[in-house]
Amino acid sequence: MNKKIIIIGAGPAGLSCGYELAKSGKEVHIYEASPFIGGMSRSFDLWDQRVDLGPHRFFSKEKRVNNFFVNLIGDDYTLVNRLTRIYYRNKFFNYPIKLFNVLKNLPFYTIFRILLEYFRVRLFPIKNPITFEEWVSNRFGRKLYEIFFKNYSEKLWGIPCTKIDADWAAQRIKSLSLWAAIISSLVGNKNNKHKTLLDQFAYPKRGTGTLYERAADFIQKNNGKLFLKTAVKKVIQGQNGHATGIELFNGEIIEADNVISTMPITQLVKGLINVPKTVIEASKKLYFRNTILVYLEVGSMDLFKDNWIYVHSPEVKHGRITNFRNWSKELNNNKESTILCMEFWAFNEDEIWNSEDEKIEKQAIQEIRKLELFPKTVQIINSKVLKIPRCYPVYETGYQKYLKEVENYLNTIHNLIPIGRYGAFKYNNQDHSILMGLLAADRIVKGINIDLWEINTDVEYQEEAKIKDVLHHEQAP
């Protein structure tokens, strides 16, 4: 049956779903509010070079997700040697943490406190940790938590670690341990001659957004349509409450057999009819964090060797710096300058979010100079600010209760499938969003009942997968 499917949003989840549906012969219409393709994973030209919206590496152990990548990118990618470090109080710390690097950078009394507090929590752990602070302190000890987790996490989320849910830590750092760091430092890679996703990652030569640009091209060449700068006001429901289409902000109504929504889950709920008050109140408890990206063109080709740096130093407000010269040589276009991307995070009411671009640029330049990552004689040539709303679903303590209330209600609306970071309120990597999109297509094409709400982070630490196992999968015909 030739179904018509509407997809709200042209990010990783929406475009991977559209790609899979188009392959199956379905009529796909995608509506994107912005003028751009790729969502948070888009690429764009800047100062005769090419950049992404911050660092977006591609990595997954899921064969199907890797096939999606290889089928669209082919051999047009490079393997990037990964180097990411933590910058804390004028010192660089390897990430993941390496024992000898920590010993070198910290004074003896600090090392002593780390070990003392680590063994103390091993003997007297916190039972059933609820907050991020409790969970991480339980795993690493209080001192290590304060150095390597507290400042960065509070910059990112804008709330104290005592209010961040332990679920965040359980998803992202559950496989990390102090003992593993010690063993890794002592043994190294002796028993594993193959590089892992922790050592290298695949990256499209012209930016991560290439993947989604090609997916969009495929959809449009296979009976699909893509509407940019076309925001969806709400999902339309029939008399039985089932999703029957969408309404645009100009009042136009477009009917469809199924609606895939990657719009923020809070906005989705607002537009539905006859929503129980308990669900409305639960949705109001869910909220997002905004991102401010400040791009700087710096007059040097050799600033620092990292792909990106986590800035834990409490004396500055930004939290991460991406160096695009250390990704793919095709990005730089043979220019003798480097583009850096500094990340600030904010809520709508924060002063920096409401500041003029010039003021934010000035603050960013002052902060990058304060870190002394490159000589003061190196010139900063250009600067640009991008403000991106609702980037991160905030995992405030107890959020699962409210999210579950919303999930259960949305499950009752037939022909409506929420997916993606915003649509499902999950802090997805792009590979998780791709998998959500592919499986959402399976629900429609194959009628498979898949609980997409359960798709988020892997049960095991997927960066341990070997590069040779996840690339060069057989391409589909």
| Residue ranges of domains in the chain | 4-42+61-73+205-285+396-452, 97-187
Q: Binning pLDDT at 50, 70 and 90, where does residue 169 land?
A: confident
322 sits in which H/E element: strand 320-323
Q: Does residue 180 surpass a pLDDT of 50?
A: yes
* Other Cβ atoms within 10 Å of 127 Cβ, number: 7
* Other Cβ atoms within 10 Å of 28 Cβ, number: 29
**pTM of the full predicted structure?**
0.90
pLDDT at 174: 55
Place of tokens 């390496």: 98
CA distance 230 to 248: 7
Residue 156: name the closest of 144, 145, 168, 147 by CA: 168
In this prediction, residues 210-218 reach a mean pLDDT of: 98
pLDDT in tens, 314-363: 999 999 999 999 999 999 999 999 999 999 999 999 999 999 999 999 99
pLDDT at 204: 96
Q: Are strands 4-8 and 49-52 parallel, antiparallel or unpaired?
A: unpaired
pLDDT in tens, 114-132: 889 988 988 999 888 899 9
> Which CATH superfamily is 4-42+61-73+205-285+396-452 part of?
FAD/NAD(P)-binding domain (3.50.50.60)
The share of the chain scoring above pLDDT 90, in percent, equals 70
pLDDT in tens, 422-461: 999 998 889 899 999 999 999 999 988 888 888 764 434 4
* Other Cβ atoms within 10 Å of 298 Cβ, number: 21
Helix axes 63-73, 209-221, angle to 10 degrees: 80
In this prediction, residues 271-277 reach a mean pLDDT of: 94
pLDDT in tens, 403-415: 999 999 999 999 9
Whole-angstrom CA distances from 345 to 150, 166, 425, 426, 475 are 15, 21, 18, 18, 39
CA distance 195 to 208: 21
CA distance 409 to 275: 8
